[in-house]
Amino acid sequence: MAKETVDTPVGQATVDLEKYTELVLKVDEAQDKIREMEKLSKELQVVTAAAKPKPKGFWSLFRDENDINEKSIIGFASFLMMVAFGIFDLITAMDGTPLEISDTIYTSFVVVTLGSFGIAEAGKAFSGK
């Protein structure tokens, strides 16, 4: 069977309506799939952003939903200050010059240290964890 050929004048083309309709339907289906994929991509970006772990650092201390016990941090800082006072007192005593520290300041660090660690431990004991 020989194929029919049709001579068309220059500047004109013949179009098979069935093939054209089939191509238009395929393009329409492809566009629907693209829209669906774009929607899924946006949803995935939202879910991925929500699932990322929050960065830990200094500013995470100020969040309500943190795992850090602020009372222990304050107690530890106060304890470090007590240790620093003790070290400087020893160094200056070896030098022969007394270190002038107000007893009120040192006592306040002791109270803060004991209070912070005591509150933190009481919180653990009564929280049932």
Q: How far apart are alpha carbons 85 and 60 in whole angstroms?
A: 30
Q: pLDDT tens digits for 80-118?
A: 998 998 898 889 889 888 878 788 888 888 888 888 877
Do 82 and 106 contact (CB within 8 A), yes or no?
A: yes
CA angle (127 as vertex; 66, 119 as ends), nearest 5: 75
Angle, CA 11 vertex, CA 9 and CA 14 arms, to 5°: 70
What are 39-85's pLDDT values in tens digits? 999 999 988 887 777 666 777 767 777 777 777 888 889 999 989 98
pLDDT of 4-36, one tens digit each? 666 667 777 777 888 889 988 999 999 999 999
> What is the structure's pLDDT at 35?
95
